[in-house]
């Protein structure tokens, strides 16, 4: 007989906040007290909400952003200091591994236990890397480059490899801004490029300006000793009723089912333009390595929300980064 999982006990919001600060919630408590909030989610910024059947919020009405920050705090527990000789040996062994710094959006960090693990999770668990991840879902390219939270860890001298993920919201989340309405009767995927506004190229150019600033920051913080790894996302698949791709395309007259080839071609073209620009930037900038994720991501490698890799996709992306880092690591 299979035992039924016991539900976590009800909790008051003040107590939940305290437990989050202490990072003392179990996996079951995290999944019981927090739920995905699809209504308030944005591309690359999944929102969370409280399970009010268990969380007594009283008169408080925290914003989805505040709830996400609380969840991030709860799942960023610091590893305890080693107390036994064996633990000390394991810690020293980990410190001796190749160190990676990761900064970025939800392709590098999603709410644990609610969403699939990311490539950064697998780089730390399946490959011999010591990963410090400062990425957070919802962070956008411009904001990350202006905040420069990566600069201090880079200045520590501990990292020779810096993985960055940014711009997904500007590309996969920008269909309402940069795609023209469908022409009556047109279902030809060969016309995909005609539906992308000229202003999208201007947006791409602006994004490359932020990437150049990022590369300069990394160079200045490390004296040119760090390698920056960038990627251009992949050809996501619009779905009927999809919150991020399918619905915006449907609103413009592109039915994700009836006009599936054209819908996919439009998304693929927008992703292609970003990848072309990012590859050109990397080729013209010292110590920058471009990674193309499109060849490794298949239709089966996407999470149900359209724009994030599932765990099979994340493993493939981790392998690409692992191989790139190995290729740029001096042999001792």
User: Can you tell me the distance from the alpha carbon of 100 to that of 325, in angstroms, rounded to the nearest whole number?
Assistant: 9
Nearest to 44 by CA among 311, 318, 308: 308
At residue 88, does pLDDT exceed 70? no
Residues 95 and 36 in one domain: no
Token pair for 285: 């900038």
Tell me: do 21 and 144 sit in the same domain. no
> What's the rounded Cα separation, in Å, for the pair 248 and 226?
39
Residues 171 and 290 in one domain: yes
**For residues 7 and 258, which has the higher predicted lDDT (pLDDT)?**
258
Q: Which of 197, 201, 207 is nearest to 177 (CA)?
A: 197
User: Is residue 80 domain-resident?
Assistant: no
Whether pLDDT at 99 is above 60: yes
Residue 55 located in a structural domain = yes
pLDDT at 3: 43
Answer yes or no: is 33 within a domain: yes
pLDDT greater than 70 at residue 89: no
Task: Please report the pLDDT score of residue 297 as a whole number.
Answer: 97
Q: Which of 44, 74, 104 is the last residue of a domain?
A: 74
- What confidence tier does 148 reach under pLDDT thresholds 50, 70, 90? very high
Residues 221-236 pLDDT 10s: 999 999 999 999 999 9
Residues 187 and 164 in one domain: yes
Whole-number Å distance between alpha carbons of 309 and 289: 21
Question: Which of 74, 99, 129 represents a domain boundary (last residue)?
Answer: 74
- For residue 92, pLDDT over 70 is answered with no
Kind of pairing between the strands at 227-231 and 98-104:
unpaired
25 and 70 part of one domain: yes
- Tokens standing for residue 316: 């493939």
| Residues in a beta bridge with 130 | 99
63 and 96 belong to one structural domain: no
pLDDT-derived band at 257, boundaries 50, 70, 90 = very high
Query: Do the domain assignments include residue 1?
Result: no
| Shared domain check, 204 and 256 | yes
Residues 191 and 286 in one domain: yes
Whether the pLDDT of residue 331 is over 80: the answer is no
d(CA 167, CA 265): 19
Position 54 scores a pLDDT of 95
DSSP summary character for residue 34 = E
The average confidence (pLDDT) of the chain is 90
Q: pTM for the complete prediction?
A: 0.84
Q: For position 263, which CATH number holds?
A: 3.40.50.1110
Question: Do residues 200 and 100 both lie within one domain?
Answer: yes
> In this predicted model, what pLDDT tens digit does every residue of 6-46 receive, in sequence order?
789 999 999 999 999 998 999 899 999 999 888 888 877 78
Residue 188 has pLDDT above 70, yes or no: yes
Tokens (6 digits) for 214: 């990022």
Residue 124 sits in the same domain as residue 49: no
pLDDT-derived band at 93 (thresholds 50, 70, 90) equals very low
Out of 42-51, 101-110, 136-145, 158-167, least confident range: 42-51
C-alpha distances in Å from residue 167, one per residue of 27, 110, 271, 278, 298: 31, 16, 10, 10, 21
pLDDT of residue 83: 36
Q: Is the pLDDT of residue 4 over 90?
A: no
Tokens 């976590």 found at = 8
Element (H, E) at 48: strand 48-50
Residue 182 covered by a domain: yes
Pick from 41-55, 105-119, 174-188 the range whose average pLDDT is largest.
174-188
Q: List the beta strands (DSSP E) in 83-211.
A: 98-104, 129-133, 161-165
- Of 172, 112, 165, 105, residue with least CA distance to 137: 105
Tokens describing residue 78: 């610091």
Query: What is the extent of the structural domain holding 228?
Result: 85-327
How many Cβ atoms are within 10 Å of 196's Cβ, its own excluded? 17
No. of helices (H) and no. of strands (E), the chain: 13, 9
Q: Count of domains in the chain?
A: 2
pLDDT tens sequence across 294-321? 999 999 999 999 999 999 999 999 999 9
Question: 5 versus 247: which is more confidently predicted?
Answer: 247
Same domain, 276 and 229: yes
pLDDT digits (tens, 9 = 90+) for 36-82: 888 888 877 788 999 999 999 998 889 888 898 899 888 874 333 33
Q: What is the mean pLDDT of residues 99-111?
A: 95
- Does residue 269 share a domain with residue 195? yes
Quote the CA–CA distance of 85 and 74 in Å, as a whole number: 29
């Amino acid at each position: 007989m299979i035992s039924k999982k016991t539900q976590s006990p009800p909790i008051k919001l003040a107590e939940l906040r305290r437990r989050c600060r202490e990072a003392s919630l179990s996996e079951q408590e995290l999944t019981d007290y927090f739920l995905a909030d699809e209504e308030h989610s944005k591309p690359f910024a999944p929102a969370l909400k409280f399970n009010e059947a268990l969380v007594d919020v009283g008169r408080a009405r925290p914003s989805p952003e505040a709830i996400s920050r609380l969840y991030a705090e709860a799942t960023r527990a610091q590893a305890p200091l080693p107390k036994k000789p064996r633990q000390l040996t394991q810690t020293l062994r980990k410190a001796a591994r190749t160190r990676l710094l990761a900064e970025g959006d939800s392709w590098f960090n999603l709410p644990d236990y609610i969403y699939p693990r990311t490539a950064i999770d697998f780089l730390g668990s399946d490959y011999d890397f010591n990963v410090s991840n400062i990425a957070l879902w919802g962070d956008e390219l411009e904001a990350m480059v202006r905040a420069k939270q990566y600069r201090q860890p880079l200045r520590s001298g501990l990292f020779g490899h810096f993985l960055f993920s940014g711009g997904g919201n500007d590309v996969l989340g920008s269909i309402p801004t940069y795609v023209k309405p469908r022409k009556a009767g047109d279902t030809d995927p060969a016309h995909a490029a005609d539906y992308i506004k000229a202003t999208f190229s201007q947006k791409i150019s602006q994004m490359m300006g932020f990437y150049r600033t990022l590369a300069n920051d990394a160079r200045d913080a490390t004296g040119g000793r760090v390698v920056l790894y960038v990627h251009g996302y992949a050809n996501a698949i619009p779905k009927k009723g999809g919150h991020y791709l399918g619905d915006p395309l449907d609103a413009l007259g592109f039915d994700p089912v009836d006009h599936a080839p054209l819908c996919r071609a439009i998304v693929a073209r927008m992703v292609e333009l970003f990848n072309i620009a990012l590859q050109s930037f990397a080729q013209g900038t010292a110590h920058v390595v471009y990674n193309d994720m499109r060849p490794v991501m298949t239709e089966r490698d996407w999470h149900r929300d359209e724009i994030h890799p599932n765990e099979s996709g994340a493993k493939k992306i981790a392998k690409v980064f692992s191989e790139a880092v190995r290729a740029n690591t001096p042999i001792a």
